[in-house]
């Protein structure tokens, strides 16, 4: 049986997380670390993190901070620009419906585990239903993720269609919360829980409305071409994730296979298998990063060789010497002397 796919999401999905946790008098650094997410990635919106890990993080935050509506509070703190390039495509669409369909079509750029389906609502004539699903597995807490996603969808429709949302209908698969009053502050329309799917249903006429901010077909087409190119050339794959995490950590000695696997929410054997499926190995990624950094650092004459070795994550000078002979056919000092000094 083939292993399930690695499910990732852009780090921009956690925009506002640290601010909200601070407002609720929590410790964001501890929450992130306990759920295997590198806090530095939150400062790089285009980086990617594990979607299941994000689900566990939001669930953990909701419990520890006694905020059952944590995902909804997080949604209230940001706007549709959270989707980055996908939001750019939507903003330049001709109608609200075109924008929604553009988001559904290009959501794989933002996350490989989020899916949106737009169709006529079979239960409500004259309504269109947006069904939101997550491909994270049954062992991932989804409540906060789903509520965050549907609340953001409602915000989008309210803003760009200029509607209050009072005639929207929202359904969730999970049980009703203890306090529905909290949810009434976030959703303007009817709420139902323990339903077959996570959906938001809106009057179909709204989708025919022009975008409130105007449209530009050339800009929309250019943005969509760019996103499609990125998705094709740089998919949200595991090798990219390993390289991004390693690049930030190996100098501190923290970039081991076990640690990187943990940050991705995987067992180290699973990570090795997934990398092998892509024709790469953890050791090769680490070695390539070290070689590239070595070329950069050795060009700077002011850097002592011992410091260069340390920056590359080597604890013994002999290990660094052997690596340089393998990479460049020379010792670190000989390679430095052969380069133009900086």
Could you tell me the mean pLDDT of each successive run of 10 residues in the chain, 342 residues long?
61 93 97 92 83 94 96 89 77 88 82 87 95 84 95 90 91 88 88 94 94 66 64 61 73 75 76 79 90 86 85 87 93 87 58
The domain in which residue 79 lies consists of: 70-233
pLDDT of residue 289: 87
pLDDT of residue 235: 56
- Helix (H) or strand (E) holding 201, with range, is strand 199-203
Check whether residue 141 and residue 251 sit in a common domain. Answer: no
Check whether residue 216 and residue 92 sit in a common domain. Answer: yes
pLDDT of residue 228: 62
End-of-domain residue from the set 233, 264, 286: 233
pLDDT of residue 329: 94
Q: How far does CA 152 lie from the centroid of its chain?
A: 15
Check whether residue 96 and residue 203 sit in a common domain. Answer: yes
Closest CA to 239 of 275, 272, 269: 275
What is the pTM for the complete model shown?
0.67
Check whether residue 199 and residue 265 sit in a common domain. Answer: no
Check whether residue 229 and residue 97 sit in a common domain. Answer: yes
How many of the other CB atoms lie within 10 Å of CB of 334? Answer: 12
Check whether residue 80 and residue 229 sit in a common domain. Answer: yes
End-of-domain residue from the set 211, 233, 255: 233
Buried b (16+ CB within 10 A) or exposed e, 122-161: eeeeebbbbbbbbebeeebbbbbbbbbbbbbbbbbbbebb
Check whether residue 207 and residue 270 sit in a common domain. Answer: no
pLDDT of residue 33: 94
pLDDT of residue 292: 87
pLDDT of residue 47: 78
Check whether residue 261 and residue 201 sit in a common domain. Answer: no
pLDDT of residue 23: 97
Contact between 171 and 195 under an 8 Å Cβ cutoff? The reply is yes
Q: Report the number of distinct structural domains present in the chain.
A: 2
Check whether residue 107 and residue 214 sit in a common domain. Answer: yes
Q: Phi and psi (nearest 5°) for 210?
A: -65, 150
End-of-domain residue from the set 233, 250, 277: 233
Spatial distance between the Cα atoms of 157 and 154, rounded to a whole number of angstroms: 5
Check whether residue 301 and residue 325 sit in a common domain. Answer: yes
As given in the structure block, the two tokens for residue 327 are 């990479």
Q: Is 167 exposed, middle or buried (0-12, 13-18, 19+ CB in 10 A)?
A: middle
* Domain contains 151: yes
Check whether residue 113 and residue 173 sit in a common domain. Answer: yes
* Domain contains 256: yes
Check whether residue 161 and residue 196 sit in a common domain. Answer: yes
* Domain contains 228: yes
């Amino acid at each position: 049986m083939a292993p399930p796919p690695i499910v990732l999401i852009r780090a921009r999905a956690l925009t506002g997380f640290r601010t909200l946790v601070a407002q609720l008098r929590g410790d964001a650094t501890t929450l992130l670390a306990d759920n295997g997410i590198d806090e530095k990635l939150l400062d790089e919106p285009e980086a990617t993190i594990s979607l299941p890990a994000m689900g566990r993080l939001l669930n953990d935050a909701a419990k520890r901070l006694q905020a059952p509506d944590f995902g909804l509070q997080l949604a209230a703190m940001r706007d549709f620009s959270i989707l980055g390039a996908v939001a750019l495509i939507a903003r330049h669409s001709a109608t609200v419906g075109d924008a929604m369909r553009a988001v559904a079509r290009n959501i794989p750029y933002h996350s490989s585990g989020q899916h949106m389906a737009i169709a006529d609502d079979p239960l409500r004539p004259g309504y269109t239903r947006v069904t939101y699903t997550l491909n994270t597995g049954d062992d991932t807490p989804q409540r906060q993720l789903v509520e965050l996603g549907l609340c953001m969808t409602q915000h989008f429709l309210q803003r760009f269609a200029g509607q209050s949302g009072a005639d929207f209908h929202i359904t969730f698969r999970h049980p009703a919360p203890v306090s529905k009053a909290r949810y009434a502050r976030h959703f303007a329309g009817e709420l139902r829980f323990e339903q077959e799917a996570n959906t938001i249903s809106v009057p179909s006429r709204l989708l025919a409305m022009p975008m409130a901010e105007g449209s530009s077909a050339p800009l929309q087409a250019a943005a969509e071409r760019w996103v499609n190119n990125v998705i094709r050339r740089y998919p949200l794959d595991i090798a990219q994730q390993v390289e991004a995490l390693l690049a930030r950590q190996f100098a501190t000695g923290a970039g081991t296979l076990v640690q990187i696997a943990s940050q991705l929410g995987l067992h180290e054997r699973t990570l090795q298998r997934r990398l092998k499926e892509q024709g790469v190995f953890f050791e090769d990624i680490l070695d390539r990063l070290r070689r590239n950094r070595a070329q950069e650092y050795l060009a700077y004459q002011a850097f002592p060789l011992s410091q260069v070795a340390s920056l590359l994550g080597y604890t013994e000078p002999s290990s660094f010497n052997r690596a340089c002979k393998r990479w460049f056919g020379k010792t670190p000092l000989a390679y430095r002397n052969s380069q133009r000094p900086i």
